[in-house]
Amino acid sequence: MLGASRRSLSAAARSRVAAGVASAVTADASVPARPISVSNGARGVPQQQNRLLSVLVAPKIAGMSNVVALKLMDGALIGRRYESSAAAVDSTDQLAEKHEYQAEVNRLMDLIVHSLYSNKEVFLRELVSNASDALDKLRYLSVTDPELLKDGPQLDIRIQSDKDNGVITITDSGIGMTKQELIDSLGTIASSGTAKFLKALKESQEAGMDNNLIGQFGVGFYSTFLVSEKVVVSTKSPKSDKQYVWEGQADSGSYTIREEKDPEKLIPRGTRLTLYLKHDDKGFAHPERIQKLLKNYSQFVSFPIYTWQEKGFTKEVEVDEDPAEAKKGDDDIKTEPKKKTKTVVEKYWDWELSNETQPIWLRNPKEVSTEEYNEFYKKTFNEYLNPLASSHFTTEGEVEFRSILYVPATRKDDITDNRKTKNIRLYVKRVFISDDFDGELFPRYLSFVKGVVDSNDLPLNVSREILQESRIVRIMRKRLVRKAFDMVLGISCSENRDDYERFWENYGKILKLGAMEDKENHKRIAPLLRFFSSQSNDELISLDEYVENMKPEQKDIYFIAADSLSSAKNTPFLERLTEKEYEVLLFVDPMDEMAIQNLSSYKDKKFVDISREDLDLGDSNEEREEIKQQFSQTCDWIKNRLGDKVARVDISNRLRSSPCVLVAAKFGWSANMERLMRAQTMGDTTTLDFMRSRKVFEINPEHEIIKALNAACRNNPDDPEALKALDVLFETAMISSGLSPDNPAELSGKIYEMITTAIAGKWSSQSQAQPDNTTLQHAAPGRSDEPLEGEVVEPEPVEADQHK
């Protein structure tokens, strides 16, 4: 298929493609070098060269010659800027050689156009990256062969577009290609690994896997057919005297190569790609769209990228005078006539620098200010608040990469949300690859960390599948995670305690999640955790602070989990530890207990739940065994009464003022965990019932209630009142221990009955013994109870109030 479609031919007839950039420099190579200044319109571009390129490279306007507008002044070319549409025509009158694509290339092009890329906009990134590679190669070869730069020392990329006709032209002043290199590069693909690549791609497609292999630079050129119906490549190598033109169309099995004979289309060196866009994709030719794609993908390419942009400047122009005002002016002969002007905007087209060739992460950290780091963070991630911390580092050795990481001031997403984050931007040789590598460079719980990572060691054909299998990525992940923890540790060590309080408020739950999921980094996570304690006065403390305040004889780190801080502070489990002045961590967040259970220990100190059995507080075993023998009969009597509700009944060493408590078995759920499991929608009731049965009922032998029950056990074990009191005691212990009774209504009935028995007739008998209020009102102090005959006794107000 050599002929273009009717639509493409008509479009080509209406437009002309922009000429190469470097030809402007060659046009006046004999002009002596002079000091030059920098133009305001394009940073880093000599003003004279900028104006020259504006005329020579800009497309011609019908009926006007740009060359005529040039004037030689003081040995420099100065050109006027004209309005331009950037239209181009690429007619082919000369004979062209026809070549067939290699079979694998034909199949690959079909896959690229129809299934490989799901995001069409990557075509511009691929072409800019190829142009950058050509410039890199030229710069490298010119070190040993300076003659390669004889046609112009400038190394840049220029992109011009015609939005009306859907034409994009990309020109680089790189190494270019000879005719054979053109055939080898665009007509064939190296056989090594090609068949395997196509086979793996086909298998993944049949398996329904993601085929969005963003970053496959090896097939980057063919991505042009995602948006183009025809592509023309004109290239000139410094090793060849001829310029060749490669032309191919989408859905075609062949391409043509011819020699360029048109003098206006010759370029001194490099490659010019002209893309004739499909009808549905002409929006990519809009200058603003191109500018946006360059900012996103190729902002930090090491060579300057210029785009052909419409600009404007304001100027004052004269306007015709209003006739009415002119007549009024004739009446006053002495008034001098004033010329009226208005401000207008005159538009023109010119080159504009569209990228920053020196990214901030390549600079020396000592030379970058905090304001620059913050500004880069806000601009890159669309933030308005400064980050809490940043880390700029370079990793060398087995794997080399540069990175800047940030901790945001606030957390926007929920850790329970499974949506992917786009907080890490991955670059390969300063070319943006993707920000959709969630979980590969950072674990999920550290997804709040934002930053950029630039590596030269990653393969250029980066995909999520390659990242998951790459050993380089695994090494990068370890070092990035370590740097992230160092950055957070720096916040915790800040003199301003409020900084870490802000961090903990936003990301505390995330770190607890990391303690549950990431066993490999437990030692880095543990120092960052914060909890309430029985001695912290409602302030969060670190584990380091707890260990520092431990008693000399204390061996373990004690904790208790509850549903609120008030419940934790008033639990009966704290009684003996408070007496010994042992500090206890208070876990009031649902994640606290699970996080600590996964940590197991800290600085050789085990975490001990004081609500579990076998709590060792350093008491004498002989004294305890003696008490157990005294109350062994009572313990058996209570166990027989409670049955399967408890695993056993034991003497407590943790109580002082409470009569009893219900503790969890060594391998059972705690009361807090049972409460959480009850709340689970998909909870396993079978497991719940089994774990609930593993409770130990501990009694305090020094309490009056237990002493009374001990006497009842020895004298009248079948006494109904004693058994009823025992039932109420057990269910009350469940409540004080953080558990829920099996039958709250039955427990309430028993309590009401006991209250009724205790208070029955107590206050009613006292009310009957009191005198009548009416009699008291008529009695006066110091007088007889019977009033004197014939005497009227009036009650005194004060005395009456006192009787009331």
pLDDT at 191 over 50: no
Q: What is the pLDDT of residues 96-139, one digit of tens each?
A: 777 776 655 556 666 655 555 557 888 898 899 888 888 988 98
Amino acid of residue 327: K
> How many Å separate Cα 199 from the centre of its chain?
35
The candidate with the shortest Cα–Cα distance to 26, out of 232, 236, 169, is 236
pLDDT at 480 over 90: yes
pLDDT at residue 764 in the model: 66
Judged by DSSP in three states, 516 sits in: helix
Sort residue 574 into left (φ over 0), alpha (ψ -120 to 50) or beta. Answer: alpha
Same domain, yes or no, for 460 and 557? no
d(CA 247, CA 213): 26
Return all residues near 111 (Cβ < 8 A) that are at least 6 apart.
198, 201
Asked if residue 192 belongs to a known ligand binding site, the reply is yes
Same domain, yes or no, for 459 and 568? no
Asked if residue 210 belongs to a known ligand binding site, the reply is no
Hey, how many other C-beta atoms are within 10 angstroms of the C-beta on 785? 7
pLDDT at residue 369 in the model: 93
The region of weakest confidence among 524-533, 659-668, 673-682 is 673-682
Asked if residue 217 belongs to a known ligand binding site, the reply is yes
In Å, how far are 83, 154, 158, 162, 768 from 53, measured between CA atoms? 14, 12, 11, 18, 116
Hey, how many other C-beta atoms are within 10 angstroms of the C-beta on 744? 11
Q: Is the dihedral of CA 695, 696, 697, 702 positive or negative?
A: negative
The candidate with the shortest Cα–Cα distance to 135, out of 103, 171, 161, is 171
Same domain, yes or no, for 696 and 565? no
pTM of the model: 0.68
Return all residues near 787 (Cβ < 8 A) that are at least 6 apart.
778, 793
The reply to whether 447 falls in a domain is: yes
Same domain, yes or no, for 418 and 556? no
**Considering 446, 467, 492, which residue would you say is the last residue of a domain?**
492
**Considering 466, 492, 518, which residue would you say is the last residue of a domain?**
492
d(CA 564, CA 512): 18
d(CA 338, CA 553): 100
Alpha helix segments (H runs only) across 239-369 = 287-297, 323-331
pLDDT at residue 784 in the model: 46
Q: What is the DSSP letter of 113?
A: I
Same domain, yes or no, for 296 and 239? yes
Residue 536, domain CATH: 3.40.50.11260
Measured in degrees and rounded to the nearest 5, phi and psi for residue 291 equal -60, -40
What H or E segment, with its residue span, contains residue 392? strand 389-395
Q: CB-hemisphere CA count at 13 Å for 704?
A: 0
Residue 472, domain CATH: 3.30.230.80
Asked if residue 531 belongs to a known ligand binding site, the reply is no
Q: What is the pLDDT of residues 732-762, one digit of tens each?
A: 998 888 887 878 888 888 888 888 887 876 7
- What's the average model confidence in pLDDT over 214-224? 57
Q: What is the pLDDT of residues 66-104, one digit of tens each?
A: 333 333 333 333 333 333 333 344 444 456 777 776 655
Q: What is the pLDDT of residues 437-446, one digit of tens each?
A: 666 788 888 9
Asked if residue 41 belongs to a known ligand binding site, the reply is no
Asked if residue 172 belongs to a known ligand binding site, the reply is yes
Same domain, yes or no, for 556 and 421? no
Hey, how many other C-beta atoms are within 10 angstroms of the C-beta on 8? 20
Q: What is the pLDDT of residues 289-305, one digit of tens each?
A: 999 999 888 888 889 99
Return all residues near 251 (Cβ < 8 A) that are at least 6 apart.
1, 113
Asked if residue 49 belongs to a known ligand binding site, the reply is no
Residue 646, domain CATH: 1.20.120.790
Asked if residue 473 belongs to a known ligand binding site, the reply is no
Which residue did the predictor score with more confidence, 617 or 404?
404
Asked if residue 654 belongs to a known ligand binding site, the reply is no
pLDDT at 399 over 50: yes
CA angle 616, 621, 622 (to 5 degrees): 165
Q: CB-hemisphere CA count at 13 Å for 497?
A: 5
pLDDT at 32 over 70: no
The reply to whether 181 falls in a domain is: yes
The reply to whether 72 falls in a domain is: no
The reply to whether 131 falls in a domain is: yes
Task: Look at the block and give the residue holding tokens 């905090």.
Answer: 370
What is the radius of gyration, based on Cα positions, of the chain?
43
Amino acid of residue 689: D
pLDDT at residue 760 in the model: 76
Same domain, yes or no, for 256 and 142? yes
Residue 190, domain CATH: 3.30.565.10
Asked if residue 169 belongs to a known ligand binding site, the reply is no
**Considering 262, 281, 306, which residue would you say is the last residue of a domain?**
306
Which residue did the predictor score with more confidence, 416 or 446?
446
The reply to whether 477 falls in a domain is: yes
pLDDT at residue 30 in the model: 35
Asked if residue 774 belongs to a known ligand binding site, the reply is no
Asked if residue 219 belongs to a known ligand binding site, the reply is yes
Parallel, antiparallel or unpaired: strands 270-277 and 305-318: unpaired
d(CA 158, CA 173): 9
d(CA 582, CA 187): 79
In whole numbers, what is the pLDDT of the chain averaged over residues?
Answer: 76
The reply to whether 4 falls in a domain is: no
Hey, how many other C-beta atoms are within 10 angstroms of the C-beta on 223? 25
pLDDT at 52 over 50: no
The reply to whether 218 falls in a domain is: yes
Same domain, yes or no, for 484 and 538? no
d(CA 49, CA 350): 12
Measured in degrees and rounded to the nearest 5, phi and psi for residue 345 equal -110, 120
Alpha helix segments (H runs only) across 555-678 = 565-569, 575-579, 592-599, 621-630, 632-642, 671-678
The reply to whether 92 falls in a domain is: no
Same domain, yes or no, for 741 and 695? yes
Same domain, yes or no, for 297 and 438? no
Q: What is the pLDDT of residues 495-519, one digit of tens each?
A: 888 889 999 999 999 999 999 989 9
Return all residues near 342 (Cβ < 8 A) that are at least 6 apart.
316, 317, 319
CA angle 174, 176, 182 (to 5 degrees): 150
The candidate with the shortest Cα–Cα distance to 675, out of 587, 562, 532, 588, is 562
pLDDT at residue 252 in the model: 77
Same domain, yes or no, for 245 and 382? no
> How many Å separate Cα 56 from the centre of its chain?
47
Crossing angle of the two packed helices 122-142 and 287-297, in degrees rounded to 10: 60
pLDDT at residue 692 in the model: 59
d(CA 492, CA 490): 5
Same domain, yes or no, for 157 and 282? yes
Alpha helix segments (H runs only) across 343-463 = 370-381
Asked if residue 106 belongs to a known ligand binding site, the reply is no
d(CA 338, CA 10): 52
pLDDT at residue 582 in the model: 93
pLDDT at residue 251 in the model: 75
pLDDT at 274 over 90: yes
Q: Which domain holds residue 726?
A: 621-666+685-758
pLDDT at 65 over 50: no
Band of the pLDDT at 248, cuts 50, 70, 90? confident
Number of compact structural domains in the chain: 4
Asked if residue 10 belongs to a known ligand binding site, the reply is no
